[in-house]
Amino acid sequence: MKAIYIQNPGGVENLIYGDLPTPVPGPGQALVRLAASGVNFIDIYFRTGLYQADPPVVLGMEGAGTVESAGDGVTGLKAGDRVAYAMARGSDAEYAVVPAWQLVKIPDGVDFVSAAAVMLQGMTAHYLAFSTFALKPGDTCLVHAAAGGVGLILTQIAKKIGATVIGTAGSEAKLELAREAGAAHGINYSTQDFQQEVKRITGGRGVDVVYDGVGAETFLKSLDSLRPRGMMVSFGNASGPVPAIQPLMLSQKGSLFLTRPSLANYAVDRDEIAWRAGDLFRWIDDGSLKLRVEHRYPLADAARAHRDLEGRKTTGKLVLEIQ
């Protein structure tokens, strides 16, 4: 089968588009013939070696396609079922073996590209808004990179819940996308001090929660944007790892809460995945959640997708089309 993989971590030049053996499903697994694979920063983390795995490391953490076959003990799935998944590495390939409990069936009204586009970033946005800091009507949240893949979905979910969203982005065009998604306020952090703007917007109080997938560039000022006993949710490192801090700093800044969540800990069983993916698919189907798939690339052009994402010049979602 064709796949995108690395033998050694490094830059995009280390990506290999080549042939690997088609995997065989074992007990409790299914072989999926992939149609689309979502591109995410976690792929860059594996490529650069920030996250490590034994080579050859096939990239891609979310995909959509058709069940080809199933291993022993698999129930509820059969060949031909349309399925999607996240958090099982290896979706940048023509075939992937996936634990059956992680697979969710795709409704008829959702296509493969949309399903692949929403699984990882959509379930991330879902757990951030419903579980890590459970938003409620009247809450105010700061969403960094609000025009990015997670940001656009999270903004729509927060608005659906009844929270007020302050979104940041690096250009006026991106801020307009965030506003279209439901952000009540937009801050261009390339020309404005977002901490000062947040305090101005909130009358000096600060926000209830910061959802920060940017990392190093925004972390410390994000802490200063919170109300006393607010929560800092650091869920990504797009600009690099955050600096080390002393716990005493959280006390000095208002007895703040700090968490570094991961989807793997918020999608721990079939029921949790079915809840999160089920909500997302239902909202896509009824039109209340709009996905922005900005670019589609053939599998062989994965390096270009990595460059585009790493350059932080994109909005919405990037997807590799496989078959």
pLDDT of residue 311: 84
pLDDT of residue 239: 80
**Global pTM value:** 0.91
pLDDT of residue 195: 97
pLDDT of residue 237: 80
Domains of the chain: 2-120+267-321 (3.90.180.10), 136-260 (3.40.50.720)
pLDDT of residue 302: 97
Q: What are the mean pLDDT values of the chain's consecutive 10-residue runs (323 residues total)?
A: 97 97 97 97 92 95 97 94 96 98 96 96 97 98 94 97 97 95 96 96 98 92 97 89 91 97 95 97 95 93 94 82 90
pLDDT of residue 243: 86
Write a three-state SS string for the chain.
CEEEEECCCCCHHHCEEEECCCCCCCCCEEEEEEEEEEECHHHHHHHHCCCCCCCCEECCCEEEEEEEEECCCCCCCCCCCEEEEECCCCCCECEEEEEHHHCEECCCCCCHHHHHHHHHHHHHHHHHHHHHCCCCCCCEEEECCCCEHHHHHHHHHHHHHCCEEEEEECCHHHHHHHHHHCCCEEEECCCCCHHHHHHHHCCCCCEEEEEECCCCCCHHHHHCCEEEEEEEEECCCCCCCCCCCCHHHHHHCCCCEEECCCHHHCCCCHHHHHHHHHHHHHHHHHCCCCCCEEEEEEHHHHHHHHHHHHCCCCCEEEEEECC
